A = this chain, B = another copy of it.
């Protein structure tokens, strides 16, 4: 389905000629009580605080009801990166099923239109779930009727295979493939499932209500029909990182606080160094300026084995206390670890193979990641063990400097690796934000 570039009136009345007497259309917006004429203003709300251009909550929407905070879709960067991490995730990787460049471009245009609507708590299409032509499929699936925007952000990325597949230039964009956008190498201990790895496109849907995140992915998949299809997807139920100093540090399924040292939205100069791709006009990467790279790794935890370890072993592996998240060298959660400090046994208080040591910037040429991962439980394996862990998401300026060296090191030397197994892997280039009237990745196709 191709959405009209200029929308029809989003509030069509009942279709009396074809419908039974009880039929009345409703929209998410209508139920939220926002006037039709005011809806455009919701998307235009600007963030207060933090000096961020676009990704604070819209107070216009936030005033309406709990959960109705709406983040602007349009802006310099895509939302869902430095946006304060929402509680729930539905992530989907798509493969193109068409080799036609026009299909790819119109898909980006249609996804842009739908994302701009849904992130503001509106239906995916202009008719909505219940008010379109009675003999046509609705342009929204309806399960989010009555639910507010719930802080929904939709963040889109392009995988290496979109540019070249088996050496073939599928869409005339091969020469614009950044050198950094290659499949991640095989790391020691990787046990990757091809059905949970890679993809031509990705969409990260984050929201405070999982039904809103699921609704968004489902409608984007519906809109993509005939052009792209879901390759794999992953739900996450609990955020494992804070991306703002306004948030408390959550806990992962090891029971430890996670993301204490994460990059935060309130550190714009660090974001410029470690997250945003810098301006590179004139190069083949120019279209990615203001964008980022997204590393996605499905990391299973051997929950049952971990749960049988003494508290002492758990803390030694992490290098932090379980209660407070403080480094074992002393202090509180936000105290910097002292890797040189020795205990009474003349061994470092933070062990040589402790996770906190191996991932610390001081041990990694100063690199920092913007992590945005989620806890997941996908039921149980055939052995009766929880199929659970951390769906790792990190935004970085360049995976060659900011992920591959660190992961190579921790895959070999981190004591935590004994309790982990990487089962999925993907890398995407995340284009910059969209200007009003533009569409996702427009500079790539220009």
Stretch touching chain B among A68-76, A270-278, A303-311:
A303-311
Does A232 count as interface, using CB distance less than 8 angstroms? Answer: yes
Inter-chain contact A323/B235, CB cutoff 8 Å? no
Measured between alpha carbons, how far is A248 from B195 in the docked complex, in Å?
Answer: 38
Does A324 count as interface, using CB distance less than 8 angstroms? Answer: yes
Assembly stoichiometry (copies) = 2
Take A135-B312, A211-B375 as given contacts and tell me if A380 and B233 are in contact as well, using a CB distance cutoff of 8 Å.
yes
Inter-chain contact B233/A210, CB cutoff 8 Å? no
Take A141-B255, A251-B142, A307-B137 as given contacts and tell me if A331 and B237 are in contact as well, using a CB distance cutoff of 8 Å.
no
Does A231 count as interface, using CB distance less than 8 angstroms? Answer: yes
Measured between alpha carbons, how far is A312 from B15 in the docked complex, in Å?
Answer: 12
Measured between alpha carbons, how far is A309 from B136 in the docked complex, in Å?
Answer: 7
Take A22-B326, A130-B323, A214-B237 as given contacts and tell me if A231 and B377 are in contact as well, using a CB distance cutoff of 8 Å.
no
* Cβ < 8 Å to B, chain A residues 377-415: 377-380, 382, 384-386, 388
Shortest beta-carbon distance from A390 to chain B in Å:
11
Query: Cβ of A248: which chain B residues have Cβ within 8 Å of it?
Result: 146
Take A225-B304, A232-B380, A321-B20 as given contacts and tell me if A311 and B137 are in contact as well, using a CB distance cutoff of 8 Å.
yes
Inter-chain contact A251/B379, CB cutoff 8 Å? no
* Cβ < 8 Å to B, chain A residues 21-54: 21-26
Does A132 count as interface, using CB distance less than 8 angstroms? Answer: yes
Inter-chain contact B24/A328, CB cutoff 8 Å? no
Measured between alpha carbons, how far is A8 from B211 in the docked complex, in Å?
Answer: 42
Does A358 count as interface, using CB distance less than 8 angstroms? Answer: no
Shortest beta-carbon distance from A21 to chain B in Å:
6
Take A137-B309, A237-B214, A251-B145 as given contacts and tell me if A330 and B225 are in contact as well, using a CB distance cutoff of 8 Å.
no
* Cβ < 8 Å to B, chain A residues 72-122: 88, 90, 92, 95
Inter-chain contact A143/B22, CB cutoff 8 Å? no
Does A18 count as interface, using CB distance less than 8 angstroms? Answer: yes
Number of interface residues of A (CB under 8 A): 86
**How would residues 311 to 337 of chain A score, 1 for a CB under 8 Å from any chain B CB and 0 otherwise?**
110110000011110111111100000
Inter-chain contact A24/B386, CB cutoff 8 Å? no
Query: Cβ of A303: which chain B residues have Cβ within 8 Å of it?
Result: 218
Does A445 count as interface, using CB distance less than 8 angstroms? Answer: no
Instruction: Tell me which of B23, B255, B314, B329 contacts A323 (CB under 8 A).
Output: B23
- Starting from the known contacts A25-B323, A145-B251, 15 additional A-B residue pairs (CB-CB under 8 Å) come to A20-B328, A22-B330, A92-B380, A135-B311, A137-B308, A137-B309, A137-B311, A138-B322, A141-B253, A141-B255, A146-B251, A225-B304, A230-B384, A233-B377, A235-B377
Q: List 21 A-B contacts (CB under 8 A).
A: A22-B326, A24-B321, A24-B323, A88-B210, A92-B380, A95-B384, A129-B255, A130-B323, A136-B311, A137-B309, A138-B311, A140-B255, A143-B252, A143-B375, A211-B375, A218-B303, A229-B384, A232-B380, A233-B380, A233-B386, A235-B235
